[in-house]
Structure 1
Amino acid sequence: MTTHGGGDALFGNEDIAAQVSPDTDVQSAGVVDVSAIDPVLSDPDAVAEVVAPTRDIDTAVGEALLRTENLSVKFGGLVALDSVSFEIRRGEILGLIGPNGAGKTTCFNAITGVYKPSSGTVYFDGAPLTKTKRNAITRLGIARTFQNIRLFSEMTALENVVVGTDARHKTSVPGAIFRTSRHRREERDAIERGMALLEFVGIAPRAVEKAKNLSYGDQRRLEIARALATEPKLLCLDEPAAGFNPAEKSALMDLIRKIRDDGFTVLLIEHDMRLVMGVTDRIVVLEFGKKIADDLPAAIRENPSVIAAYLGVPDDGANEVTGDATNASA
């Protein structure tokens, strides 16, 4: 069953399972005049400069920022990921695609510390992530969004983003209790950066609205803003277009490109093949937990193994496929 949610986005069973509900009539907290708060926010170039990461990155642009080496994940007797090796180069948008059950999210979770690999290694910015805890992985510079939106629903949009900035704060608990000068400075900087991030993703006028009252599309954008607030070296987006209509998907593609152009590296898992083909620089394809292709979008589109994986065509007939694999859903 599918209905329409916020922003006319499609609203399906997956969203119902995730306890996301279509917009209901609620009293708006009002919109914010961002230029009145800070004139800088009315200048897109100035906003992009504020949002741009300032972190020290050892990896040069174009070199492998993240690399998996024979990465495997097993759940009992089930091999969800089987000796997968690939790299994400600094400054690119890499798409990770494959049919349902291919191992995409498992790979994503192994990279971000949700799952512990059964074997193999993930290298990030020149160092292995072996036994690194999830919070430490965030501090090292890997941020992610989720298939199912995970916001603090009773907090405002701005408060949600400010939570993300805390990953870079150095104030101790006593310092926060006694409101030391460092704590006050970090708090002020977090609010300013939070507003800039909301403007960057296009929802700054809704800064004082509770997250639960935002449209579905704006909640997706808010989650991206919160991830960016951690100042990541690598931003991992897990199906960010889920539930979007075509207009929203087009706007999301523009946002992802803007994020890359602002100095971030992006790993994208997405079901919508048109979006993937339109926004990525390179694509890695998984099937049954194995990597079957790693190439430019144009080459992936014509790859017989990829076409067969999506359309279920036997290997001996893959070359005879005339359909377009981009019409298939991941």
Structure 2
Amino acid sequence: MTSPQSPSGADSGRPVPGGPDVDAADQIAEAAADPEATAIVDPADIDPALADPEAVAEAVAPQREIVTAEGEALLEVSGLTVEFGGLAALDDVSFEIRRGEILGLIGPNGAGKTTCFNAITGVYTPTRGTVTFDGSPLGKIKQHKITRRGIARTFQNVRLWGEMTALENVCVGTDARHQTSVFGAIARTPRHYREERDAVDRGMALLEFVGIGPRAAEKASNLPYGDQRRLEIARALATEPKLLCLDEPAAGFNPSEKTALMGLIQKIRDDGYTVLLIEHDMRLVMGVTDRIVVLEFGRKIAEGSPRDVRDNPAVVAAYLGVPDDQIA
């Protein structure tokens, strides 16, 4: 990542914190390169507005236009089927995600949750069925185009650029929304400078939003595991998604970390994002979701509120192994 040169990110048309008095990218780079330093920074030294949670929340709130009205179906999955060598990993699954909600997608191991995730985000091409997003079918478009359309995701296994700093990892995410051409980047056009400045401003705000602002100058590989998970979420949010898909974000967390993660996911939704969550931890799922879809052996067996799903005999049977003939 090169150091931005433009005086402010305000020209990009996005509300950002007040604008750093110093070159944030240079300060982060110096902290990361100094072998005597701890690489811990004070975000408020870079931009005093980062000390105000409300200013941070406003800076990272989604700005892109969304066709779907609040509470209506932002993503519709209809008859989704994914087969591998004739074996159906996902079989005729249908559900919707409403704008502004947190939807949980749960099920025992091998139920088809991640396959469904991958079919929605373009990793797998569905054998049959359709996925409609914000009023338009996704079809068979490539993953990077799905990201540009507004679907961002994290993965079961953390995927970060370990030798890059936390801030640099997040700035990579902002590239999904930049308009500078290859020629513009080589020529260092004014638009390129503005977008780089915007990337740093938004990157710092996102790191502060997810709770790891002071670690902006640390290499991603040196971060504690929980902070790496938060960094991956920040990078996904940097793409300005209409829908944020979290694939088992609490994997490997202790109870206190899971509680903190619940708060972060709720804060993300409260800031205006829509969230699709795959998670094995039922306490987390029941505590943070608005609705839940349950899969078993690739088929949907239940859908409803957390309370309805918790009391559903088919769901209890799927998790506890109750024989089918005992399901009421």
Q: TM-score, normalised by structure 1?
A: 0.88
1:202-221 pair list within 5 angstroms: 202-221=211-230
Partners of 2:300 and 2:307 in 1: CA distance: 18
CA deviation digits over 1:241-288, x for unaligned, max 9?
A: 000000000000000000000000000000101100000000000000
Q: Aligned partners of 1:244 and 1:238: how far apart in 2?
A: 14
User: In structure 1, which of residues 42, 46, 63 is the aligned counterpart of residue 55 of structure 2?
Assistant: 46
Choose from 157, 177, 190 the match for 2:166.
157
* Residues 1-330 of structure 1 aligned to structure 2 (within 5 Å): 29-319=38-328
CA contact (8 A) 1:113 1:137 kept: yes
Whole-angstrom CA distance in 1 between matches of 2:279 and 2:36: 34
**CA displacement at 1:174 relative to structure 2:** 1.3
Equivalent AA in structure 1 for residue 160 of structure 2: L
Quick one: distance in 2 between partners of 1:55 and 1:125? 12
Does the 8 Å contact 1:98/1:286 carry over to 2? yes
Task: Work out the number of aligned pairs and report it.
Answer: 294
What's the offset of the Cα at 1:27?
7.6
Sort the Cα spacing of 1:280 and 1:28 in 2 relative to 1 into closer, same or farther, 3 A: farther
Question: Contact 1:282–1:296 (CA<8 Å) still a contact in 2?
Answer: yes
- Compute the displacement of 1:72 (Å): 0.1
In 2: Cα distance, 1:37 partner to 1:234 partner: 30
Cα deviation, residue 54, structure 1: 0.4
Q: 1:272 to 1:27 in 2, by over 3 A?
A: farther
Q: How big is the shift at 1:315?
A: 2.1
Q: Deviations over 1:93-133 (max 9, x none)?
A: 00000000000000000000000000000000011011111
Identity over aligned pairs, percent: 77
Q: Deviations over 1:283-310 (max 9, x none)?
A: 0000000000010000101000000000
Q: For the residues of structure 1 that align with 2:115 and 2:182, how far apart are their CA atoms? A: 35
Native 8 Å contact 1:29 1:208 kept in 2: no
Structure 1, unaligned stretches of length 5 or more?
Answer: 1-25, 320-330
> 2:17 aligns to what?
none
Q: What secondary structure, in the 3-state scheme, does the structure 1 residue paired with 2:58 have?
A: helix
2-side partners of 1:30 and 1:167: how far apart? Answer: 27
- TM-score relative to the length of structure 2: 0.88
Structure 1 residue 29: Cα displacement: 3.9
Is residue 84–residue 291 contact of structure 1 (8 Å, CA) maintained in 2? yes
| Distance of 2:252 and 2:327 partners within structure 1 | 31
Partner of 1:22 in structure 2? Answer: none
Runs (5+) with no aligned partner, structure 2: 1-34
Q: Is the 8 A contact 1:287 1:309 kept in 2?
A: yes
RMSD: 1.0
Alpha-carbon contact 1:28-1:209 (below 8 Å) kept: no
Deviation at 1:177, TM superposition (A): 1.1
Query: Which whole-Å CA distance do the structure 2 matches of 1:242 and 1:33 have between them?
Result: 29
